[in-house]
Structure 1
Amino acid sequence: MFGGHVDWSQVPKQHTVTSMHALPTGKPKKLPKVQYQFPTEDSSEKKFREERRSAVLDAFKRAYGSYKEHAWMADELTPISGQKRNTFAGWAATLVDALDTLWIMGLKDEFNEAVAATVSIDFASTSQEEINVFETTIRYMGGFLSAYDLSADERLLVKAKELGEMLLHAFDTPNHMPITRWRVMDARRGAPQTADPVTLVAEIGSLVMEFTRLSQITGDPRWFDATHRVMKLFEEQQSKTHVPGMWPILVNARDMDLTWHDTFTLGAMSDSAYEYLPKMHALLGGLEPMYEKMYRAAMDAAIRYTLWRPMTPDNADILIAGMAHVDAEHKGGLDFQGQHLVCFAGGMFALGGKLFNEQTHLDVGKKLTDGCVWTYKAMPLGIMPEVMHMIECPTNEPCEWNEEAWHKEVVRRKGGNSDASEVQKIIAEERLQPGFTSLDDRRYILRPEAIESVFILYRITGRKDLQESAWQMFNAIQENTKTSLANGALADVSREDGKVTVTDSMESFWLAETLKYFYLIFSEPDLISLDDFTFNTEAHPFRIPK
């Protein structure tokens, strides 16, 4: 444990920045309207909606109350044993992550109590030798900034700046590229630092919203400058990768090479690097053209190389985002995988479609979101697994359900023979629903990405069926994850035999993201309007400058 308060702004840097990128100047452009013009609801519709919102609020209050009682100021509550766990440096991750949810849900007394508690967090003290700069940025800095944007409580801005001063030292490398898995106390002692030769593209490319918002609020360009350098490198090398337009999941920050790896996806390890492109366009008031340019190029490539249509018994008109492997000779293929994490992509495409007047992207966003909803409904518990494979249609056009082809692919993935009894044995043992060829990670860890896209698409289109789908999702999750204290991750969503195992884990995003999106979809549409706010990847809404 390292202790003792330190003012990070006074800790010397080894590599001084000599020229600073300034925030774009000028009056923000009038962005296209994103939200649907919702009609006035009648009294029965309002009562029905508010009953559902109240159920979500109760779930939040129950989990938050247990955190407060059993794990106050720790990073996480263990929802079965009632213990505390520090997974993110011990700086009260669940508390900071939930600040804006408390405000949005109208829990002002709890909010004020929480803000008073967070003032005591000491970012110079942690028992972890290494911190994840990305997670620290999206959960802590995002949490403070969003809660400040909503409440104007100056104490939150003080904490955001304090954390921001510390995180700038992760960029104190010879090329000013950030260290993503950072030995923070070595930096405090002045040890030499070099950016990593292998880092996840999401972890280096997803710091820009939070750093930009801190610079906008404070008028201090240092944070914008730090991440703008990174994004300029993304822009310069975007067309030089094996899939021009996209960046691979692994990059070399030490040598500033974003082109060498051969795996491309909108999913895990890449996700928020893409998600932040249209959101940065909005956050900067349309004054920085690079984000629209990067978004369009990335999504053109993603549509071409990573999206696919599954073959389903009901011939559903849906899309799934997979993973492409493409080498330097442009040889390779698409892995017909689906991930719960990549369910955010439907909302991203829909938002980009509105911001950039691209109807094609809005249509893609609908099909991707509907794909995640379909996958939820197809599973026995009504909850999607972390990772799965399905049988693909030959193209993104409709294809008729072919049970024989499904069986053949099930066997191929399992490495068995195509004997009819063997096929049925695999399907039974693996608990495969029609269309699914393998369940590669059967967990549900209280993830928000599916309800995130359902919420965004609902706010954009006004489709009432999305509210109904959200309600089914919420009830399935509540029914199966509820513990005596709060909610816990599921070990296997394919079980329907009464042997569903709830595990002793509740990540901070359950309160920060999942329940927030469920609450908002059953709230009045002007609560956190998508025309006024843009969400970071931890569901923290930042105010869009007007």
Structure 2
Amino acid sequence: MKWYNVIIGLIKRIKSDLPLLITGSLLFYYLFKNELDMLNSYAENELMPHITNDTDGILIDNLDESRDPDNLFSSGDKVVESFKNKEDKIKDSSTVDLYDYNILLEKNRFFPIIQDSVDGKDMFTRLSITPSDTIKNVKSLSRKLKYLLVDKFTWQASYDHIDESYPHIQTKKFMDNGFAVDAQLSKIKTLFQETFELYSATTSNSIDELKPISRKRIDNGNGFGRTLIGSIDMFYLLDMDKEISDLIDKLTLEDTLVTSKNLLNTNENFITIISSLISGYELSEEREKIFLKIAKQLSKVAIKAYDTPINGLPLSELPFKSMIQNRFALRKSSIFEIAGNILELIKMSSLTKENVYISTGLNVFRKMVESSRNVFNVDYLFPTIIDPSGCQILKNDKHEERVISKKGTFLKTIYNGEYINCMQRDTFFSANDYDNVDSTGEQDIEFIDLINEDGNVNYLFSLLKSYHLLNGNGELDFKDYFEKSFEIMNKYMFYKPNLPSDILNKEEQANFVFFTPISASKRQVNDLEAEDEILIKQSLRVKSQHCQLGGMFLFASKLFKNATYSALGEQLINGCIILPKLTNLNVIPESASFDKCNENGNCFSFDTDKKVESLLDGSFLDDKFELESTSYFTAEDILQANKIGLNNVEVSTHEIALQERLKEGIPLIKADRKRSTGNPIASNRNDAGDNSINSPEGNNLENKKVYKLTTSKADIMGKPFSVDKKKWTNSDHPFYINSIDSKFRMRPEFIESLFYAYRITGDDKYRRIAAETLEAMIGYIRHVHKKHVEISAIEDLYTLKARDELPYFWFTRTLKYYYLIFSDVSTYSLDDYIFNGDGHIFKKTFLV
């Protein structure tokens, strides 16, 4: 009764004041409600509070069309530029002019911008990426994140713990004992020092790359001096103390990195610059704090690229100096730019214990998984160009009504200076989607490759390394995704060329394979039978970058104890070993394409007369789509690999069962008639079939995918040839080669695979091959340049024409992997360190 009496007493005391309290509370509530209603009204009615529209433009730099789009707003004389002519701006007074910078800036608070690209070719894009007068450099950018949630995934202490069953990646037995080869190390160190001195003497050390012949400086990266910054770990590897000291003094004095660029490439920020700084910090035994400090500064800027609505997927080019920051990811983005930074984001969280990085990285992987089935023509592997925006701009016709009937959620946004409504998507989707406003309605062709042109992004290899960095722990199943991706690759992305009978010896003929990108299109939909026909064309173009894949599969073979991956990795490397011989060169050219061998047991039956005849009657160019039902690698391949001692892996029970299936003639996958959902724009459901990885997107109507396979004829379409001489006209390569890009850019991917192969298998033949390729490479370069000290790429290996290029990856990857393969095997063991896509070295933390 005591508490009851107290309450009664309080009510009696405030009884007389109660009407006043209620009245005040209502006034207080309606005051703020009116303010919110007013702001919402401004947004919904496209009106602006207290904005004057008496300006024709904004203050920006000279907009010379001939200048590099990235530098449209670089330092220079300020000019007033009108984005639209006055007569174009005469509109009804109630219409909002989104070409007015002040209006756009205010409206962008409520409505995000969606763009195809940010290359500055149209007026609206130029307006939207104009630098702010208040943002001068990386250090001064401190805007808060708007969309990113840091609690999706968190950095956990369990990631540092390693299970007893976790495999060793690097073998413990080396045929040559794994000691350092001092003569080779000395040679490589001299090469690095000579070429770096050439770079340093010609540039200010803040230029991205050097043209060594003309002595011109090129700034084709983010403007931070990626050759210099990217060489940090090589300085430590080669004990170049002066260069380390000079760089530390420079960074300490400036206390930041400064760039004149207004667009920062997100991939380069993480893969090249931030990872270099991390590597320098860890290789200095964490003494040089300046490296970590600047890595943190730049990461806080770079993470802004992921601060996008709906999906949290990154802007490939971040206009970091613009105040207009509320943006979707670009509608036409490279999959490598979207999925390429997961490893680096996880590493940043492991160093800083800030959850925003790992949360962002694993969110990207989760979106990959959600988009991996029933969205694109081929499951689990993505087209090189995708739409990651999550905001689909639909056709404005009756077709839109069909899509809208699926009850999608729409969002008001700004596109090309106008308001539009886009439908929200939870996944990536095709940049050529039939429902897109800019779709031509023609056949959607999706081109699929695994490695970007620069060769530093292979998202599957990045996933393997992320799994390794997390010591096999984590909330998401990297292993399952990799295995399902492999099943598709095994089906469509490997081939053997048809070659003359006498070009290779028996041992060379037996165990090699080439990788090929593919193009996939949907020819028709059979509504009655609920069947989609997916046509796949193998390009048959082998790129120098593809030589990295051998090392990737050998890495996967140890990580997942899978003998199939080991056999494949060995054969891919063997393909790159013999490629110079097939092209009559001593080094690997930029790319080459061949005729495909359609009978794997008879791949050395190339007939010149038959090829000429088929070219004359046109039958060679016919598309003959055939139903595929078996995978490329079979039990015989694995057994043969085991016989010749190629596999240095432990075989799991699952793998033994797999091999038994293969012996019985059962293919690894059955992709010829595969269940798939039809329209990807649909209500969510989780019933995606036995092969799903928790894909939420789909609908209740299921279509069968019928896969049919052929080869591309693009490389020989219209190519002149001589009937009498039975050779290509005006071409130096043999007739059994359909095309060749005979540039030599001193690429790192082949030596990278040789390095992994040596460390994983312990076979010293990979050191011998590395020594031979190094000698051949330097021999070509010295010959082309008349034995001068200059080292640059080669434009044409047949004519020995020089190419005025010294790529930054010569310093960051090519010479590094040559140095490491001849180093003592205890140097940066694969069990203790991870090399990112750009070759930078991360420590792998683990507790048993």
2:574 to 370, 384, 390: 370
Alignment of 1:209-220 (within 5 A): 209-220=343-354
- Given residue 386 of structure 2, which amino acid in structure 1 is its aligned partner? V
1:287 to 458, 462, 473: 473
The corresponding residue for 1:84 is 217
2:296 is matched with 161
**Cα distance in 2 between the residues matched to 1:11 and 1:79:** 40
1:500 to 800, 803, 815: 800
Q: Does 1:206 align with 2:374?
A: no
In structure 2, C-alpha distance between the alignment counterparts of 1:204 and 1:409, rounded to whole Å: 43
Pairwise CA distance, 1:408: 6.5
**Alpha-carbon distance in structure 1 between the residues aligned to 2:463 and 2:148:** 28
SS in 2 for 1:437: strand
* Residue deviations 1:111-161 (CA, integer Å, cap 9, x gap): 232233344567674333322211222110111112222222221111111
Tell me the distance in 2 between the aligned counterparts of 1:69 and 1:409: 56
Which residue identity is paired with 2:768? Answer: E
- The answer to whether the 8 Å contact 2:590/2:743 transfers is yes
Q: Distance in 2 between matches of 1:115 and 1:293?
A: 43
Q: Given the alignment of the two structures, is residue 145 of structure 1 paired with residue 349 of structure 2, yes or no?
A: no
Distance verdict in 2 for CA 1:267–1:12, change over 3 Å? closer
Name the structure 2 match of 1:516: 816
- Equivalences for 1:39-438 in 2 at 5 Å? 39=174, 41=176, 49-71=181-203, 72-119=205-252, 125-151=258-284, 152=286, 153-175=288-310, 176-186=312-322, 189-240=323-374, 241-255=376-390, 257-260=427-430, 262-268=446-452, 272-288=458-474, 289-312=476-499, 313-314=503-504, 315=509, 317-328=511-522, 329-397=533-601, 399-404=603-608, 413=716, 415=718, 420-426=723-729, 429-433=730-734, 435-438=736-739
Match of 2:791 in 1: 487
- Is 475-484 or 275-284 further displaced after alignment? 475-484
Counterparts of 1:417 and 1:379 in 2: how far apart (Å)? 19
Q: Which region of structure 1 is more displaced relative to structure 2, 12-21 or 515-524? A: 12-21
CA distance in 1, matches of 2:614, 2:230: 42
Mapped contact 1:410–1:423 kept (Cα < 8 A): no
Q: Which amino acid aligns with 1:36?
A: T
Matched, 1:536 2:846: no
Letter in 2 for 1:76: E
TM-score scaled to structure 2, two decimals? 0.60
Per-residue Cα deviation, 1:249-295 (whole angstroms, up to 9, x for no partner): 11111125434362222243695111112111101110025211111
Task: Determine if contact 2:447/2:520 at 8 Å carries over to the other structure.
Answer: yes
8 Å Cα contact 1:448-1:513 kept in structure 2 = yes
CA separation of 1:5 and 1:252: change in aligned 2, threshold 3 A:
closer
- The residue number in structure 1 matching 2:40 is none
| Structure with more relative contact order (C-alpha pairs < 8 Å, separation 6 or more) | 1
Comparing 397-406 and 145-154, the one that deviates more: 397-406
* Equivalent AA in structure 2 for residue 475 of structure 1: E
Shift of 1:425: 4.8
Relative distance call for 1:226 and 1:262 in structure 2 (3 A) is: same
Aligned-pair distance for 1:346?
0.7
1:29 correspondence with 2:163? yes
Aligned 8 A contact 2:151 2:355 in 1: no
Q: Single out whichever of 96-105 and 17-26 deviates more from structure 2.
A: 17-26
1:275-321 deviation line (CA, Å, top 9, x unaligned) = 11211110111002521111111122112111111234313521111
- Are the counterparts in 2 of residues 81 and 504 from structure 1 also a CA contact under 8 Å? yes
Pair 1:397–1:543, CA change in 2 (3 A): farther
Alpha-carbon distance in structure 2 between the residues aligned to 1:24 and 1:319 = 41
- Distance, in Å, in 1 between the alignment partners of 2:141 and 2:601 is 56
The one-letter amino acid paired with 1:357 is K
Higher strand fraction (1 or 2):
2
- How big is each residue's C-alpha offset from its partner over 1:402-461, in whole Å with a ceiling of 9 and x where there is no partner? 2336666888525468864252353xx31114642211x322222111111111111111
Gap runs ≥5 in structure 1: none
Supply the distance in 2 between the matched residues of 1:545 and 1:397 (Cα, whole angstroms): 47
Deviations 1:355-398 (A, max 9, x none): 00011001101111111121134444412222220122215556
Q: What amino acid sits opposite 2:304 in the alignment?
A: H
Larger Rg: 2
Q: In the alignment, is the contact (CA less than 8 A) between 1:386 and 1:444 conserved in 2? A: yes
User: Does structure 1 retain, via aligned residues, the 8 Å contact 2:211–2:218?
Assistant: yes
Preserved CA contact (<8 Å) 1:178 1:204: yes
Distance across 1 between alignment mates of 2:602 and 2:429: 34
Matches of 2:198 and 2:352, distance apart in 1: 35
**Is the contact between residue 722 and residue 728 of structure 2 (CA under 8 Å) also seen in structure 1?**
no
- 1:13 is matched with 145
CA deviations on 1:183-216 (whole Å, 9 max, x unpaired) are 2212xx2433221111111111011111111110
Alpha-carbon distance change, 416 to 107 in structure 1, aligned in 2, over 3 angstroms: closer
How many angstroms does 1:532 deviate by?
1.1
Gaps of 5+ in 2: 1-73, 76-134, 391-425, 431-444, 523-532, 621-715
> CA, structure 1 residues 24+423, in 2 after alignment: closer, same or farther (shift >3 Å)?
farther
Contact 2:495 2:596 in 1 (8 A): yes
Q: Which amino acid aligns with 1:159?
A: I
Seen in structure 2, the aligned counterparts of structure 1 residues 134 and 193 have a Cα distance that, compared at 3 Å, is same
2:346 partner letter = T
Residue 545 of structure 1 and its aligned partner are, at CA, apart by 1.8
Cα deviation digits, residues 216-270 of structure 1 (max 9, x gap)? 0111111111121111100122223322221221111112543436222224369
Q: Pick closer, same or farther for the CA change 1:449–1:506 going to 2, 3 Å.
A: same
Distance 2:232 2:613 in 1: 50
Letter in 2 for 1:370: N
The separation in 2 between residues aligned to 1:305 and 1:193, in whole angstroms, is 37
Alpha carbons 2:174, 2:764 under 8 Å: kept: no
Question: Secondary structure at the residue paired with 1:184?
Answer: coil
Segment of structure 1 superposing worse, 400-409 or 321-330: 400-409
Deviation at 1:15, TM superposition (A): 3.0
- 2:334 and 2:800 mapped to 1: Cα distance? 33
Equivalent AA in structure 2 for residue 217 of structure 1: L
Matched residues in 2 for 1:28 and 1:251: separation? 36
